[in-house]
Amino acid sequence: MQAASAFRFAQVTDQAFDWRLRRNCSVTPRQLMLFYASLCLVSLLIGVWFWALGAKLVIGFAGIELLAVGLAFLAYARHAADGETVSLRGGRLIVEQECAGRRERMEFGCAQVRIESCQRPQALIEVCGPGGRMKLGRYIQPELRPLLAGEIRRALRESNQAGRF
């Protein structure tokens, strides 16, 4: 097995290679919820203040605004944990994808799997085998996808040669 520094995207141990590709999120769903709660408090306080001054429509518009912002934050939070995981262990390449809480998983035998990367700039990496095919690389920059595909191919070759993963 090559030194771990030879792999840019993978976490390498004696028993496995792991690639974790995640969405780049600056705010966790919990932080977003706390921010939204504070936003609601401030908006409602302002709305109540204007209501007390006689401008009764302000509180209604504040409620509509908070509902719209809440729906946008909910859509963001549903996809904050999206990602792809590729693991090479026990002679198997395991590909998992999570999107909006829905998880999809496929396993491929190392000897039968093919890693295909198209030459088009926005094309995803395809993992093909007897069990089907999955597309990878949604959460990595398009120009880095060929490097990731090459890294997975190299790890597959090493595992087939070593016969130990």
Same domain, 72 and 85: no
136: number of Cβ within 10 Å: 23
Total of domains in the chain = 2
CA-nearest of 41, 65, 73 to 57 is 65
Domain with residue 158: its CATH number is 2.30.29
Same domain, 68 and 54: yes
Same domain, 90 and 133: yes
Give the pair of three-digit tokens for residue 136.
Answer: 């990878």
- pTM score, two decimals? 0.73
Same domain, 103 and 64: no
CA gap 85, 97 in Å, rounded:
6
Same domain, 12 and 58: no
Domain encompassing residue 57: 29-79
CA gap 95, 104 in Å, rounded:
8
How would you write the pLDDT of the chain (165 residues) with one tens digit per residue? 444 457 888 888 877 899 999 988 888 888 999 999 999 999 999 999 999 999 999 999 999 999 999 999 988 888 888 899 999 988 899 999 998 889 999 999 888 899 988 777 788 999 999 889 999 999 999 889 989 999 999 988 888 776 654
